[in-house]
């Protein structure tokens, strides 16, 4: 039995937890088993290092730390100042940014901080300046009325959800769609690619305050130089949400026109996904927006999470190591191999391939909805998520697509040969799954039929594929 530091740390932690609530300890252990045995292809998930995970379980969790480094509303935050300053320093150096704000709890929080910072910078509003000193939940009806009157109908132009954008880029049910008069740009119906001329035309017509770029399901690079030129042409603030591909920027796979940091006024990101850190968010900007961004707490955020900021500092330090660039490069190589393997087996891919970490399969060619495909694959030990495709006839719930990504499997060490084998397993499941019917015999968008023997066989093959690439090999719990 291994007695290395990682194993000792995690075993000891579970023993302490088990003494209080054994069911929680069991669930934690079961999650490790499940992740070890499944082909994790969710593009927004990864595996954080033991050091990053352990940095979240400590006494920083007990501290309130509203404010920023050196300017707290609570006493006794000197150690929080240390880890927040370290995380911000690593972020600035890693991405070449003038300013980094590492307090956001998630990508959505990071986007909200950015939106309010841009509004405060661009719109003369005494009500907003007053509101920045309080949390949004504490604003009275009169405060909100004054805000709406002074801010007016500010406009945002972002990528549509079915084209690969994110719900925080103006999707109506999301708060971003309620804060702004919003319009979306899509992709070329024939190619699935961004048509920059059409984006420019939409910007000239709509005249947005904010032009948003970035995606959660667009399998290609974005030319941020062109997008900045479009923003400048209409006087818009250019914001990039790089949550999905931050690791490719950090690893210098995306450079020049494809690195958003030199081109955007403000950049938001999560710290997990391809960056391989803890679940959390971050904002990068120039000095002109720094003061507004630093007011994210208390305007939008509650108390910062110092234990998560400590983990961010660890993960960002890891990303500054030379081996992270190799990792980021292998993510893209693996995505190419996975896409090629699927195409050779007859799968239909949105845009016909990939330039980044994700692949979007249009499963309608298999006669399935995304929901049917997602569950059939899960039954077979392959974890994915359903996703809308451009002009999706099945909408955002059932969808016609499956989004798959390579960051997690690349972390485990799988390479091109394993990606081809994975493509074969995916194709086998989708090809052998048929749409089911409802109780009335009508076609169902959710029910499906898959021979359990096929699911069992694919699940075994998936487990065999993973055997040479153990997850957290330095951690043994038994």
* Span 305-317, pLDDT tens digits: 999 999 999 999 9
Measured between its terminal Cα atoms, the distance across the chain in Å is 8
| Residues 77-128 pLDDT 10s | 999 999 999 999 999 999 999 999 999 999 999 999 999 999 988 888 787 7
Do residues 20 and 468 lie in contact, with contact meaning Cβ atoms separated by under 8 Å? Answer: no
Give domain status of residue 49, yes or no: no
Based on the fold, state whether residues 111 and 232 are members of the same structural domain: yes
Q: Which residues contact 167 (CB under 8 A, 6 or more apart)?
A: 161, 173, 174, 176
Give domain status of residue 189, yes or no: yes
| Residues 51-68 pLDDT 10s | 999 999 999 999 999 999
Return the CATH number at 192: 3.40.640.10
Based on the fold, state whether residues 162 and 117 are members of the same structural domain: yes
Based on the fold, state whether residues 362 and 385 are members of the same structural domain: yes
Angle, alpha carbons 232-238-240 (nearest 5°): 150
Return the CATH number at 364: 3.90.1150.10
Residue 131 reports pLDDT greater than 80: no
Q: What is the mean pLDDT of the chain?
A: 93
- Range 119-145 average pLDDT: 77
Based on the fold, state whether residues 245 and 363 are members of the same structural domain: no
Residue 298 preceded by cis peptide, ω within 30: yes
- Tokens 């070890």 appear where? 36
Based on the fold, state whether residues 313 and 364 are members of the same structural domain: no
Looking at residue 430, what is its pLDDT?
98
Based on the fold, state whether residues 170 and 252 are members of the same structural domain: yes
Higher pLDDT, 303 or 105: 105
Return the active site residues: 64, 66, 241, 270, 273, 279
Higher pLDDT, 139 or 326: 326
- Range 159-184 average pLDDT: 82
Which tokens in the block code for residue 430?
């989708």
Looking at residue 3, what is its pLDDT?
66
Based on the fold, state whether residues 80 and 203 are members of the same structural domain: yes
Under DSSP, is residue 288 helix (H, G, I), strand (E, B) or coil? helix
Report the domain count for the chain.
Answer: 2
| Residues 333-345 pLDDT 10s | 999 999 999 999 9
Give domain status of residue 41, yes or no: no
Give the per-residue SS3 of 287-323. HHHHHHHCCHHHHCCCCCCHHHHHHHHHHHHHHCCHH
Based on the fold, state whether residues 222 and 95 are members of the same structural domain: yes
- Range 132-148 average pLDDT: 73
For 286, other C-beta atoms within 10 Å of its C-beta total: 15
Do residues 283 and 104 lie in contact, with contact meaning Cβ atoms separated by under 8 Å? Answer: yes
Looking at the chain, the number of H-run helices and the number of E-run strands are: 20, 17
Based on the fold, state whether residues 112 and 162 are members of the same structural domain: yes
Residue 1 reports pLDDT greater than 60: no
* Rounded Cα–Cα distance for residues 278 and 47 (Å): 9
| Range of weakest confidence among 347-351, 435-439, 470-474 | 435-439
Strand intervals (E) in 4-139: 39-40, 67-68, 71-72, 99-101
Which tokens in the block code for residue 191?
């190619």
Give domain status of residue 246, yes or no: yes
Looking at residue 373, what is its pLDDT?
98
Share of the chain above pLDDT 70, in %: 98
Domain limits at 203? Answer: 59-319
Give domain status of residue 43, yes or no: no
Closest listed residue to residue 166, CA positions, set 244, 109, 232, 96:
244
Based on the fold, state whether residues 289 and 365 are members of the same structural domain: no
Give domain status of residue 187, yes or no: yes
| Residues 319-336 pLDDT 10s | 999 999 999 999 999 999
pTM of the model: 0.93
Do residues 300 and 45 lie in contact, with contact meaning Cβ atoms separated by under 8 Å? Answer: no
Residue 145 reports pLDDT greater than 90: no
Q: How confident is the model at residue 142 (pLDDT cuts 50, 70, 90)?
A: confident
* Rounded Cα–Cα distance for residues 461 and 40 (Å): 14
Residue 2 reports pLDDT greater than 60: no
Instruction: Judge residue 377's burial from the number of C-beta atoms within 10 Å of its C-beta, 0-12 exposed, 13-18 middle, 19 or more buried.
Output: buried
Looking at residue 213, what is its pLDDT?
97
Which strands make up the sheet holding 237-241, listed edge to edge? 99-101, 281-285, 266-270, 237-241, 210-214, 155-159, 181-185
Give domain status of residue 452, yes or no: yes
Based on the fold, state whether residues 246 and 350 are members of the same structural domain: no
Phi-psi region of 252 (alpha: psi -120 to 50; beta: other; left: phi over 0): left
- Range 424-447 average pLDDT: 93
Residue 136 reports pLDDT greater than 70: no
Residue 258 reports pLDDT greater than 80: yes
Do residues 476 and 8 lie in contact, with contact meaning Cβ atoms separated by under 8 Å? Answer: no
Higher pLDDT, 138 or 82: 82
| Residues 228-239 pLDDT 10s | 999 999 999 999
Based on the fold, state whether residues 236 and 367 are members of the same structural domain: no
């Amino acid at each position: 039995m291994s007695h290395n530091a990682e194993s000792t740390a995690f075993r000891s932690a579970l023993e302490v937890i088990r003494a209080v609530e054994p069911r929680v300890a069991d669930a934690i252990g079961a999650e490790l088993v499940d992740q070890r045995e499944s082909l994790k292809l969710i593009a927004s998930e990864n595996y954080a290092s033991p050091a990053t995970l352990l940095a979240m379980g400590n006494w920083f969790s007990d501290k309130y730390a509203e404010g920023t480094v050196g300017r707290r509303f609570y006493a006794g935050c000197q150690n929080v100042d240390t880890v927040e300053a370290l995380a911000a320093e690593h972020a600035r150096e890693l991405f070449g940014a003038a300013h980094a704000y590492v307090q956001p709890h998630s990508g959505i929080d990071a986007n909200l901080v950015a939106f309010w910072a841009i509004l405060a910078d661009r719109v003369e509003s005494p009500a907003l300046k007053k509101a920045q000193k309080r949390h949004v939940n504490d604003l009275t009806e009169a405060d909100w009325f004054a805000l709406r009157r002074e801010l007016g109908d500010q406009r945002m132009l972002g990528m549509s959800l079915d084209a690969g954008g994110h719900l925080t880029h103006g999707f109506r049910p999301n708060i971003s769609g309620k804060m702004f008069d919003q319009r979306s740009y899509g992709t070329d119906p024939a190619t699935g690619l961004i048509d920059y001329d059409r984006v420019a035309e939409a910007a000239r017509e709509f005249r947005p305050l904010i032009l948003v770029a970035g995606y959660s399901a667009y399998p290609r690079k974005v030319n941020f130089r062109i997008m900045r030129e479009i923003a400048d042409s209409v006087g818009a603030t250019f914001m990039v949400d790089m949550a999905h591909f931050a690791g490719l920027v950090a690893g210098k796979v995306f450079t020049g026109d494809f690195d958003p940091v030199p081109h955007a006024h403000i950049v938001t990101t999560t710290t997990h996904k391809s960056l391989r850190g803890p679940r959390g968010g971050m904002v990068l900007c120039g000095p002109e927006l720094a003061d507004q961004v630093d007011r994210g707490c208390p305007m939008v955020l509650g108390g910062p999470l110092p234990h998560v900021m400590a983990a961010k500092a660890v993960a960002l330090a890891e990303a500054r190591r030379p081996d992270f660039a190799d990792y980021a490069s292998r993510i893209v190589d693996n995505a190419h191999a996975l896409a090629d393997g699927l195409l050779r087996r007859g799968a239909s891919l949105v845009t016909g391939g990939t330039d980044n970490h994700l692949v979007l399969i249009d499963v309608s060619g298999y006669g399935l909805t995304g929901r049917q495909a997602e569950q059939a694959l899960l039954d077979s030990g392959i974890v994915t998520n359903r996703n809308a495709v451009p002009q999706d006839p099945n909408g955002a719930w059932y969808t016609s697509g499956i989004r798959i990504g390579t960051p997690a499997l690349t972390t485990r060490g799988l390479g091109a040969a394993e990606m081809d084998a994975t493509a074969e397993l995916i194709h086998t499941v989708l090809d052998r799954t048929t749409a089911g019917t409802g109780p009335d015999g009508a076609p169902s968008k959710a029910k499906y039929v898959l021979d359990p023997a096929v699911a069992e066989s694919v699940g075994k093959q998936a487990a065999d594929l993973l055997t040479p690439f153990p997850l957290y090999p330095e951690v043994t719990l038994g």
